[in-house]
Structure 1
Amino acid sequence: MLTGSSLWGKWIRAKLLKGRSFWEVNVRMQTGSWMWHKMLKLRSVAKLFYKVEVGNGRHISFWYDNWSRQGVLMDLLGARGIIDMGVGKNATVEDAVLYGRRRRRHRLSILNDIEDELAIIRSNSSLEEVDRSLWRRDSGYKLEFSTQETWQILRDKKPLCNWAQGIWFTQATPKFAFMAWLSVRDRMSTMDRVVKWSRGSNDMCVLCYNAPESRNHLFFECDISAEVWEFIAKGLLRQDFTVDWSEIISIISDKAREKKSLLCTRYAFQAVLYALWRERNKLKHGKKMMPLPVLKKVIEKGIRNRITLVQKKGGRGMEMLMQFWFQTRM
């Protein structure tokens, strides 16, 4: 593997590789930093993104670098290939071209294919040509490495969630948004989920004890949570007001809605979720829940304070947002 002419690359070659290829170094070697060992462990992934273009072949490992059309020769032929090809384990492509034993025919077709490649390099080789590292990109192998494109190729891609912007918006409070995200994915420890791993548990709603507690019941089919949600959101949503979970998620994900209304609705939704879950957990652990009138005022005050903070940072547009919020409370 080409390590470049940087000081770090030179130090790696001198102190850690010591004439060996990066691809053959034992991952359990004692020398090197934790970062070096992390790099060694990721070589199987890096191999999928790296190959070299032969120039003079001086800095390309014959056995360990991906220079051949066949692939990495050590992976294909193993140690036996060293004997069959007559090329030393630490040889470069230049060594194989200049000092390898005279070309001969082999029983295995893959060995003959490699000999043909060496013959082509031998006839085209030039001392002035430099070896070049190539990196896998969306459009093929290129000279420039792209972190972004490499990540996009590596990452486990999932369909885009239409609700994502309704949860992860700029003005959100991080702890509110995280809890809303868990709720949308139905990963909260509601009683319908608890009973699956704790047999004998009571699955009734902790707030109202009128129905089994699920995500959809708690937000906002439960009489208590519905009352809080109505107090906060009825003025915002007006004729669109609903306590149905899927409809609420559809509303906060609707980019076509008026911006001020959408922002206030998104933040109010998350604030109510967080406050109700906090009060629900108080009851679950034997504490008293905050009186409903007080809880409503606390949530409203929190939303108002957040909008005020956003207004100070955002200027005139956010001042209009504050006016809009107060109009909904009248």
Structure 2
Amino acid sequence: MKEKQTHTWLFKKLLRLRREATQWLQIKPGDGSSIRFWYSPWSPFGPLIKFVGANAPRLSGIPLSATLASIWTGSSWTIAPARSVALEQIQIHMSTITLTDFTDLPTWNSKGIGNSNNNKFVISQIYDSLRESRPKVRWNKSVWCSKGIPKHKILSWLFVLNSCPTLDRLLSWGLHTDASCLLCNNYPESRNYIFFYCGFTFSIWVPLSSKLQLSLPSHSWDDTLNAISTISGSTQHQFLARIAWQAVIYETWRERNHRLHRGSFRSPDILLSLIERTITNRISSLREENPEESSICMQLWLS
């Protein structure tokens, strides 16, 4: 099937993944009527047009539109002598196959995907095989902490990658703008300055760090990220520290954007109160799912 203008974007994306999908599909020949000789993955060599090459029909005398059934006489294969090593391998494999009256059977072939050695479809294995594989980062749990607030996690991730449009990045793109930090107006704005050399942001982070009994808060972005990533203590204590760190990032960046786009200003005390209320609400939202854990978190947070 070819892409059409009337197809949806998602359907077009699925059609483009057909070549990827065929590496995990295997069709067990039955009567061969639904198997396209050159394109269907019926042999261990995958689609034969790729295995032999574009001149395969000319070398073999088998038409491009041929089905497996069309070259079966009922007792043998009607194929010319092999004219290449690849065609010889195909013919050797075909000598082990006999077509029957049964329907061709598509099967899922997961061998070679991760550590799988069975024919069970596992979506996570397919996802891992398609995506670019990279080493696990040390800040993984700090950003993608379980039960964290989704929008806070996404923004924290973007800041870890330094992908947010801070003023220093806008200047590097050639845009003409005042580089002064929008929260304090003292120094040029960058990720590392906002978190936490900026006095505005640091004045919010210090009381939260003290409340959670963290080590002496650092002005350095890298040191703070490392401290959050390697924090010890109970699971509940780690959870509170990470969602507090993420909440500071989210609310201070939101305040910065309000100042830039709306001309509205809030004090550090107001933001601190908002962050504390957000964390309290998040803990309360966990009560229905896990009352005991929610209670422990609330006691730690309010103590």
The TM-score bracket by the shorter chain reads 0.7 to 0.9
Residue 296 of structure 1 and its aligned partner are, at CA, apart by: 2.9
Tell me if the contact between 2:36 and 2:68 (Cα under 8 Å) persists in the aligned partners: yes
Residue 248 of structure 1 and its aligned partner are, at CA, apart by: 2.0
Determine the structure 2 residue equivalent to 1:48.
Answer: 23
Go from structure 1 to structure 2 and tell me whether the alpha carbon gap of 1:132 and 1:146 turns closer, same or farther (over 3 Å shift).
farther
Correspondent of 2:204 among 218, 228, 231: 228
Correspondent of 1:97 among 54, 72, 97: 72
Q: Deviations over 1:196-243 (max 9, x none)?
A: 124432212222222221111101111121112112222313544333
Residue 127 of structure 2 is aligned to residue 154 of structure 1: no
Identity of aligned residues (%): 27
Residue 100 of structure 2 is aligned to residue 127 of structure 1: yes
Given residue 210 of structure 2, which amino acid in structure 1 is its aligned partner? Answer: K
Structure 2: runs of 5+ lacking an equivalent: none
Residue 35 of structure 1 and its aligned partner are, at CA, apart by: 7.7
CA distance in 2, matches of 1:288, 1:81: 70
The alignment's TM-score, normalised by the length of structure 1, stands at 0.74
The alignment's TM-score, normalised by the length of structure 2, stands at 0.80
Determine the structure 1 residue equivalent to 2:170.
Answer: 194
Tell me if the contact between 1:63 and 1:72 (Cα under 8 Å) persists in the aligned partners: yes
Residue aligned with 1:203, SS:
coil
Which 10-residue stretch deviates more, 58-67 or 265-274? 58-67
Q: Deviations over 1:56-107 (max 9, x none)?
A: 54543223223345553344354x6445534455443243231788665455
Q: Deviations over 1:278-314 (max 9, x none)?
A: 2222333462421333333333333333334434653
Go from structure 1 to structure 2 and tell me whether the alpha carbon gap of 1:33 and 1:175 turns closer, same or farther (over 3 Å shift).
closer
Determine the structure 2 residue equivalent to 1:305.
Answer: 281
Correspondent of 2:292 among 313, 316, 324: 316
CA distance in 2, matches of 1:315, 1:158: 37
CA distance in 2, matches of 1:259, 1:107: 67
Determine the structure 2 residue equivalent to 1:22.
Answer: none
Determine the structure 2 residue equivalent to 1:184.
Answer: 160
Go from structure 1 to structure 2 and tell me whether the alpha carbon gap of 1:165 and 1:199 turns closer, same or farther (over 3 Å shift).
same
CA distance in 1, matches of 2:79, 2:18: 32
Residue 193 of structure 1 and its aligned partner are, at CA, apart by: 0.8
Correspondent of 1:63 among 38, 58, 62: 38
Determine the structure 1 residue equivalent to 2:179.
Answer: 203
CA distance in 2, matches of 1:323, 1:258: 13
Residue 30 of structure 1 and its aligned partner are, at CA, apart by: 9.3
Q: Deviations over 1:260-292 (max 9, x none)?
A: 322221122122222212222233346242133
Measured on the aligned residues, the alpha-carbon RMSD in Å equals 3.4
Go from structure 1 to structure 2 and tell me whether the alpha carbon gap of 1:209 and 1:67 turns closer, same or farther (over 3 Å shift).
same
Which protein has the bigger helix share? Answer: 1
CA distance in 2, matches of 1:163, 1:226: 21
Task: Give the number of aligned pairs.
Answer: 298
Determine the structure 2 residue equivalent to 1:170.
Answer: 146
Residue aligned with 1:282, SS:
helix
CA distance in 2, matches of 1:320, 1:71: 56
Go from structure 1 to structure 2 and tell me whether the alpha carbon gap of 1:62 and 1:257 turns closer, same or farther (over 3 Å shift).
same
Given residue 39 of structure 2, which amino acid in structure 1 is its aligned partner? Answer: Y
